[in-house]
Every structure is written in structure tokens, then in C-alpha cells.
Structure 1
Amino acid sequence: MKKLFFTALLTVVTLSVQAQVKTPQASPAAKVEQVVGLANVQIEYSRPGAKGRTVYGDLVPYGKNWRTGANANTTISFDQDIKVNGKELKRGKYALYTTPKADSWDVIFYASTDNWGLPENWDESKVALRTSVKPQTLMGSVESFTISINNVTNDSASLDLAWERTMVSVPFTVPTNEVAMASIEKALAGPSYGDYFSAAQYFYQSNNDMNKALTWVNKAIELTPSDRDVPFWYLRLKSLIQAKTGDKKGAIATAKSSLEGAKKAGNSDYEKMNKDSIAEWSK
């Protein structure tokens, strides 16, 4: 019995040790993060090695779609709309596929990113962008497949794929000027109605200067776009501030407006809060 117990214990210990064994991946994972102008670009991929093999035209056949790396999808994401080789590409995350050929490469941004390698069933409708570029012959050999962002300026960069003695470079541009001008115009135009609401809300919740809070919530209401109803939660905040300043008559009138807006929106929580406050302030 003791022998059986120690044999079982040894087996458990052995399995536990085996479960902790770590070995390097054949194609290690890599991540690239680069700011181009005001746009953030992120790439995640795995890096197979050449290991003395002929890569393009042999390991990676010409004329066939390639996963462009190893293991799970190679993905690339942009947080702004960009142009790739002059073509529009919407902000988002894409799987990066390629079709290598001796004299040109197709580079494909594919909308589905949850495949292991190539999709089992290729869906052309998921091709967000396809562009063609010429391969370049490198002077030296690149052992590990490498994706990088190079030639970075305020408005552009290149997505470079290098392996063995071949590199393809895909130029892209980012809307730096448009984003910067929009930011400048917004800043120079002053706070938005949402900014005024947030300031008023903070002052109310922190029991700060209620007169300033009332000024700011009135500004938020005033700046609400004419094609929208004044948000009922804005009116609710104003009524609370009015009540806190001692203007219960004004608070009741504002609460009634908030109540109507809450009813229209079907928000029962705000309906109840406004009814309860009106009853309290009417005493």
C-alpha cells in the first residue's frame, strides 16, 4: 500500500514539473506600436525564421495568399481613417494578408481578425483594401520575418515587410492636418455644452460654489444644439442646484420640465426622482 502511495505521489510530482516546463516558440510573438502624426498604429504578429530555407517561391509559394507571418492572424490597427497607397482605409483593426509574386505583391487588409492563419473560407466582401506594391531586393539577408513602421513624418510612413532578401514597402498617409485643425478650432471655440454640464455637476456634487454651478448648467442648456431637446438630466441638475441656492419655486419649474423630458424618453428613474423632488420642494 505504501509503495502504491509513493508511486502515485511521484507521478503527481512528475506531472507537476512537466506542466511547468517552458520552451521558446518556433515563431515568437512580436508587437509594434508607432505614432504617426496624431495616429496610433499597432501591429501584432509572429516571426518565423528562414533557417536556411528559400522563402519566397518555395516556403511561401508565389501567387497564393499568405498569412504574412505565422500562427494566429497578423493584425494591424489604426485609430484614425488613413490612406494606404492613396486608397481610403477606415479606422479599425484588420488582419494583414499578402499575395507574394516575383514582380509584385498584393497587400490585403481583411476585416475578420479571428482566424488562425488564412480564413477557412475566403470572403472577398471582407477585403477592406487591397493594394499592389513592388518588392525590393535587400543587400543582406533578414533571418526573422520582420514588420516595421519606417520613414515616419507628421503625415506619412511606410509599412515594411522584410524577410530573407526581400522587402515590400507600403506607403500610407494620416490626416494630421485635419485632426490638428479640428482640435484647434474646438479649443478656440471654447468649452462645449458637455464641458459646462460636467463642471456644473462637479461643483454641485462637491458642494462648491452653487452660483457658479448654476451659471455653468445654464450655459450647458443654452449651448445645446437647436436640433436636440435639452437633456432632461441637464434640467434635473439645474433644479437641484436651484433648490440648493434656496430658489425652490424655480427648482419646481425646472423639475417639471425635466419630468416631461423623462416621460418622453421613457426614463422611469428620472420621472420618480423629479416627482419626489417636486413634492418635497412644494411643502
Structure 2
Amino acid sequence: MKKLFLTLALSLAIFASNAQVKTPQSSPLSKVEQVVGLTSVTIEYSRPSIKGRIVYGDLVPYGKNWRTGANANSTVTFSDAVTINGKELKAGKYALFTTPKADSWDIIFYSDTNNWGLPESWDESKVALRASVKPETLSKSVETFTIELANISNDGATLDLLWERTRVSLPFSVPTQTLAMASIEKALAGPSMGDYFSSAQYYYQSDKDLNKALLWINNAISMTPAGKDTPFWYLRLKSLIQAKLGDKKGAIETAKYSLEGAQKAGNADYEKMNKDSIAEWSKK
């Protein structure tokens, strides 16, 4: 009997340690990802349902800050600064709070996103932006709270909140023209100094066309700004490419310039590598 009792107790303990009960969340988590123009917008929030209740004016009182969803903070993340009601909202992640009223809503972007619902102590200095919008009455009731991005164009969209028979729509604009022009200008200007260096380094390390690698590292070196020293690691790469191509004399000459730059910068690692290479390439 004692042995049977111990076996039963052990079995129950194992069952208890392994048991994981899974049930549906009453307010399931949702994630919305959308590119607006060239700006990425991500929304994460939990979605409560009406379930026969009266929402606005009861479950969600008028005139008080609302968590705008359920559970942890509903958040909105912008990859670039956006403009709302003529005000700039910097790129970043924000908690989304609202103050519903019968004739207008305040939409609040709050910099502290680590709250379960509303902050225990509201800090007005953490309000990154506050915007007022008028609510719209829907013809049909929306059972489950919804946040969506609508009216998407190259230059903006609307952040829409829908629940019960109310929709609140907040327009925002994105800096598509600024980003696009910067991208075009960069592309038309051609590869950068770093682009040439990275390409040459890849070709050298991958044993690809070393003549191309030499051309690219020379292009990179030629783009050294006036009055600035050529980066000694650029010169180090050129010397390695020259040596691999069989030009030991040229490699030694370039390595000496790299050594001089490394000594000037106090970089002992590159100083040693250059000295070792010069000694190796000087052997007949």
C-alpha cells in the first residue's frame, strides 16, 4: 500500500509539473504591420469584445483617459518621424491612450510603453503628442475593438479606432518625398567610399576577381576627403590585394603607408600586422 501511495504521488507530481492548460484569451492579441509610403508602421494591441455591454459612456467612461484596448499598452511604432495635425511625432514606439468624449476624442501618444493599462501615475511630460478628432457614427456595430490603418497613400494614412458604433480616424503624414529624394540623390551620386571598400574586401576574402578588388579599393582611397588621412585599414586591404596579385613591391610600399597611419592612430594590432607582412614580403 505504501509503495502504491508513493507511485501515485510521484505520478501526480510529474503530471502537475508538465501540465500546461491553454484557453483562449478574452481579449486576444493582434499585430498590424503596414508600410505607408516608405515608413513602416506597427500596431500591437489586445482586442476586447462588447459581449452585450454598453461601451462608450459606461464600460469606457466619457472624459477619462482610456487604455484604448485591453491588457498591456496598445502601442504604435513609426520607423520615421510623422506629422499629425501639423505637429511632428518623432520616430519610435508609443503607447496609445485616448480620452473619449461624446463630441470629440483626444488621441495621446505616450512615450512610456511599459504599463499594464494606464500608468499608475500619469506624467504629462511623457505625452509626445496629443491630437483632437471628432468621432463618426457607424451604420453597423463593431463587436470587437479594432485598430487599423486606412486611406493609405504615398504620403500618409489614417489611424482608425472602431468599436461599437463609433469610429475615430486620425490622419497622419509620412516623409515619403524627403526619403525618396535622399535615396535618389544617393543612388545618382554613385557608390560611396564605404561601398567600394566593402566590395573590395568581399572579393579579396572570397578569392574572386582581384583586379576588380584592386580597382574598387583604389576608388575608395581616391575618395578620401581633402585634408584627411586615408584610413589605414583601407591601405592594409590594398596591400593584401597587391600581394595576392604578386606585386610584392607595391604591397610593401602600401603597407608602409598603412603602418604609418596605424602608428599615428595608436593601433597596435594593425601596426603588428603591417610589420609582419612587410617582413614576409621582403624575403627573396
| Residue 11 (structure 1) aligned with residue 19 (structure 2) | no
Question: Structure 1 counterpart of 2:58, which letter?
Answer: D
In 2: Cα distance, 1:60 partner to 1:225 partner: 61
Answering whether residue 81 of structure 2 is matched by residue 81 of structure 1, we say yes
Shift of 1:260: 3.3
Moved more, 237-246 or 145-154: 237-246
Q: CA deviation at 1:81?
A: 1.8
Name the amino acid aligned to 2:22.
K
Instruction: Specify every segment of 5 or more residues in structure 2 that has no aligned partner in the other structure, as ranges.
Output: none
Whether 1:120 and 2:125 are equivalent positions in the alignment is no
Contact conserved, 1:239 with 1:251, CA < 8 A, in 2? yes
Alignment root-mean-square deviation, CA: 1.9
> In the TM superposition, what whole-angstrom CA distance separates every residue of 1:201-258 from its partner, at most 9, and x where no partner exists?
1221122222221111010111234475432221110111122223323322322332
Q: Which residue of 2 aligns with 1:240?
A: 240
Question: How do residues 201-280 of structure 1 correspond to structure 2 at under 5 angstroms?
Answer: 201-226=201-226, 229-280=229-280
* Residue identity opposite 1:32 in structure 2: V
Cα deviation for residue 43 of structure 1 reads 0.6
Aligned equivalent of 1:26:
26
Work out the CA distance in 1 between the residues paired with 2:171 and 2:90: 16
Distance 2:68 2:48 in 1: 10
* Corresponding residue of 2:54: 54
Deviates more, 1:42-51 or 1:219-228: 219-228
Give distance in 1, aligned partners of 2:133 and 2:264: 56
Structure 1 residue 80: Cα displacement: 1.7
Residue 114 and residue 232 in structure 1: after superposition, are their counterparts in 2 closer, same or farther (change >3 A)?
Answer: farther
What CA distance in whole angstroms lies between the structure 2 residues aligned with 1:35 and 1:199? 30
Instruction: Give me the whole-angstrom Cα distance separating, in 2, the residues matched to 1:188 and 1:138.
Output: 49
TM-score w.r.t. structure 1 length? 0.92
- Residues of 2 paired with 1:107 and 1:228: CA distance? 50
| 1:277 CA drift (Å) | 1.3
| Residue 109 of structure 2 is aligned to residue 101 of structure 1 | no
Q: Aligned pair in 2 of structure 1 residues 132, 229: CA closer, same or farther (>3 Å)? A: farther
State how far apart, in whole Å, the 2-side matches of 1:281 and 1:102 are: 82
Residue 145 of structure 1, CA deviation: 0.8
2:139 aligned residue: 139
CA distance change for structure 1 residues 63 and 258 in 2, over 3 Å: closer, same or farther?
A: farther
Could you say which residue in structure 2 is the equivalent of 1:178? 178
How far apart, CA to CA, are the structure 2 residues paired with 1:7 and 1:79? 57
Structure 1: runs of 5+ lacking an equivalent: none
After superposition, the Cα gap between the structure-2 partners of 1:228 and 1:77, relative to the gap in structure 1 and judged at 3 Å, is farther
Q: Judging changes above 3 Å, is the alpha-carbon distance between structure 1 residues 202 and 13 closer, same or farther for their aligned structure 2 residues? A: closer
| Pairs aligned (count) | 282
Structure 1 counterpart of 2:51, which letter? K
Q: Which residue matches 1:154?
A: 154
* Aligned mates of 2:98, 2:213 — CA distance in 1: 57
Which residue type is aligned with residue 254 of structure 2? T
SS of equivalent residue, structure 2 residue 73: coil
Contact 1:86 1:172 in 2 (8 A): no
Task: Tell me what 1:66 maps to.
Answer: 66
For the 8 Å contact 1:84–1:172, the answer to whether it is kept is: yes
Deviation at 1:10, TM superposition (A): 4.4
Please give the alpha-carbon distance, in whole angstroms, between the structure 2 residues aligned to 1:96 and 1:52.
25
| 1:74 partner letter | S
Q: Distance in 2 between matches of 1:123 and 1:274?
A: 57
The residue identity in structure 1 corresponding to 2:81 is: D
